[in-house]
Chains A and B, each alone.
Chain A
């Protein structure tokens, strides 16, 4: 079973920041937080992952609370092409461990 809880859907205005929350209150000390997204009819796309420090890459920022029980994925300037289902997954960073996908958050970026 997925170890995360995400809102089923969110809307965001184009050009604004999209903040997607994820609760993972039972996360273990050696589990990382991964984010993927799936644009309609495509394979999931890796976005970012982190352990306890905040992370940033060209796609997004990941903010993890100090107690690691929740995190937020931030898309700084959402575009229409960011409309997708976003999955938050916790997993031990170990080669060969599969990802358990929950239902995710359906983000709609509105013009």
Chain B
């Protein structure tokens, strides 16, 4: 399975600022996903990031708040813009591998605290 890393692993930020989270994969993948996990909650999909096209956002998430870049098949970034304490969450990227499993593998997550 793909090995996924995220940077930073955690951060504490002031309200009104922005943070860019990086996701790096050790192999080329077409599909990458960004999820949010609020404290004590399950995972919620933010958007799907395909290389060469605009990200597709889920209901309740907008590009101005969560801009995503996908410059190549091994890398993606998610920016959390104009942060408020409600944005305090774990942000996770995942990649899809095709073939026999069509399953997703997740990165370790970025724990964000907004003061």
Residues of A within 8 A of B (CB): 34, 41-46, 49, 87, 93-104
Contact = CB atoms under 8 A, between A and B. Distances in A.
Contact of A46 (B44, B103, B109, B111): B103
Q: From DSSP, what is the main secondary structure of chain B's interface residues?
A: strand
B30 to A, nearest CB: 8
Interface in B1-48: 1, 4, 30-31, 33, 42-45, 48
Interface stretch (B61-69, B71-79, B81-89, B94-102): B94-102
B71 to A, nearest CB: 19
A87 B45 CA distance: 15
A103 B106 CA distance: 17
A43 B107 contact: yes
B22 to A, nearest CB: 15
B104 interface: yes
A42 B105 CA distance: 12
Contacts of A97: 102
Q: Which 3 A-B pairs have the closest CB atoms?
A: A43-B106, A101-B43, A101-B42
B106 A102 contact: no
Contacts of A34: 103
Nearest to B47: A98
Contacts of A96: 31, 48, 96
A94 B104 CA distance: 11
Given A95-B102, A96-B48, A98-B48, 15 more contacts: A41-B90, A42-B108, A43-B4, A46-B1, A46-B103, A46-B105, A49-B101, A95-B30, A95-B96, A96-B31, A98-B104, A99-B43, A99-B45, A101-B43, A104-B42
